[in-house]
Chains A and B, each alone.
Chain A
């Protein structure tokens, strides 16, 4: 297991360098000069421009700039935002809990509904319930996030007035963010109504962000369950006189979890991409919104560093998923 983990960690190195290179070139491939953007409408003199260019290293050849960036990254220095002058690292960790909270809630939502939906569909294969669930999943999967979010906002915030449209909590409440997780901080603050407000703010973004993973998980669970239910060991479990509930929920599900966990792991990447849109729509102060804002401001260090950190997160999640395979089905560990 340890050897396996180490070998997996080694494969991180080329991926890491690749991601560094891509994030570095991506923002530079966009038209627009960060110094000009920073100067805004006032403009700036040629001397001042040259001075700033030297300060940020833009006078260097591009490969030297990359080298400086790479060596910085390897020493744990992601640079400083052009705009806020704060280290990228600090900004990331201030904003990341908001994204993490939203993503975790969306994932819990997707798993909590997707897994049972997939199991129910598989057990009722070909019947009405199966068809209904799977067509709903297909609709959910093909729904554009933007459109879906607006629809929910119109119905629940507009017509019904149940949920707020933006932010993480009512302006009424103020407390220091100890953990950065609004659900925890609001309880810790002891202010009555704060937690409810946080939950109501989370509701729509969670549903919007969780819908596609929910559909993917439901469909994958169904097909994995169908495959597993045809296996010999399921017949053995039935020959032992086990109840359908136990057979589906224990004997089959454990085996079906392998492909399901794979899609859950892969969904994390999709989730972070979805977070960018969702956060923008709901003005959610997380790294998604931060990345979008920084791209518009041509804030090179933030875009580079942010992308890199997001990529590392995804890699860690995938590694964890790989490790889980062996825990769920020891046969896989042997390979």
Chain B
């Protein structure tokens, strides 16, 4: 069953120099207990699309969509009060910077118990017991003592565990993790990913993992959505995506994986994600694509069918009539 269903989501920011489209007609389906990875270079609108779902964008953002529904409820036209009963309870999110995402003025225990108090109306004793249990669940040693610590007294990895504990406190149906490991040391990164995956197995919650790292995707995800310059350019189950990428951008991301590199230097994708002023008329990836021709540069390609991973490309790779480069 579909837990989160997004159709034609577009987010535009009002800037001093006009509107900037950060997310461009994105569709997304996340099922119960599923792990979806959203991958793409920075600036691809991964965070903005999920922040739009959570209702966390600033007022400068204009959100339009045909549908954004969670668990059968229309999130888009819901009044803020009703939305707040879902956000933080059934739909939770964690962020890239665990250090700055926790309030320096309050103990981590206070910050966890707050959600329990407001969403689950637990009394003081029950809150404390649950907080201890959550800390054990996310692998924080000596929970009783750590609950009274302030964020600055804990390491980045510990703080991210606190953030995760806080997010899963009310047993959410879906957890959105926005680059949860990007700010952490490599060894800690693997631990946090393992933790997220095992929490999914234990609780059966859905997980959206936003990342720019194909390595993380390979390790954790089940289905992958590739986003570029605000558009979803391809979507496939993880194994298929790695074996037969259809969009040249996906292929380029995979080529940049260290274990796939053939030369001594890692291949990188030349150029940068287009911003507000250099958005191409046709395919957004065309200026950086080695296969692009005049048609690509002039007309935006519509998404292809499911068999081709919904790739937004006129010349998809790894198809019957065209074998990968």
Contacts and interface: CB of A to CB of B under 8 A. Distances in A.
Contacts of A254: 103, 105-106
Given A232-B97, A334-B152, A241 B103 contact: no
Nearest to B86: A241
B95 interface: yes
B3 interface: no
B166 interface: yes
Given A240-B115, A242-B84, A331-B150, A235 B105 contact: no
A330 B105 CA distance: 7
B140 interface: no
Contacts of A255: 103-105
A263 to B, nearest CB: 18
A128 to B, nearest CB: 16
Interface string A292-309: 000000000000000000
A237 interface: yes
Given A235-B56, A254-B105, A329-B104, A243 B95 contact: no
20 contacts: A232-B97, A232-B100, A233-B101, A233-B102, A233-B103, A233-B104, A236-B95, A238-B55, A239-B56, A239-B88, A240-B87, A240-B114, A241-B87, A241-B118, A242-B84, A254-B103, A328-B105, A329-B105, A331-B152, A334-B152
Contact of A242 (B86, B88, B104): B88
A41 interface: no
Main secondary structure of the interface of A (DSSP, over half): helix
A191 B83 CA distance: 57
A231 B100 contact: yes
Contact of A241 (B88, B106, B152): B88
B103 to A, nearest CB: 4
B146 interface: no
B119 A241 contact: yes
Contact of B104 (A238, A241, A331): A331
Interface string A212-254: 0000000000000000000111011111111100000001001
Contacts of B54: 239
Contacts of A235: 56, 95, 101
Interface of A: 231-233, 235-243, 251, 254-255, 328-331, 334
The range of chain B's interface size is 20 to 34
Contacts of A334: 152
Contacts of B46: none
A334 B103 CA distance: 16
Given A236-B95, A329-B105, A330-B150, A241 B89 contact: yes
B103 A236 contact: yes
B283 interface: no
Interface in B51-75: 54-56
Interface string B139-178: 0000000000010100000000001001000000000000
Contacts of B22: none
B23 interface: no
A254 to B, nearest CB: 4
Contacts of B56: 235, 238-239
A193 to B, nearest CB: 46
B92 interface: yes
Contacts of A238: 55-56, 87
Chain B CB within 10 Å, residue with most, of A235, A239, A243, A255? A239
Contact of B103 (A239, A243, A251): A251
A331 B102 CA distance: 12
Contacts of B150: 330-331
Contact of B87 (A233, A239, A251): A239
The 10 closest A-B pairs by CB, nearest first: A241-B88, A240-B88, A232-B100, A233-B103, A241-B87, A241-B84, A254-B105, A331-B152, A232-B101, A236-B101
Chain B CB within 10 Å, residue with most, of A240, A242, A328? A240
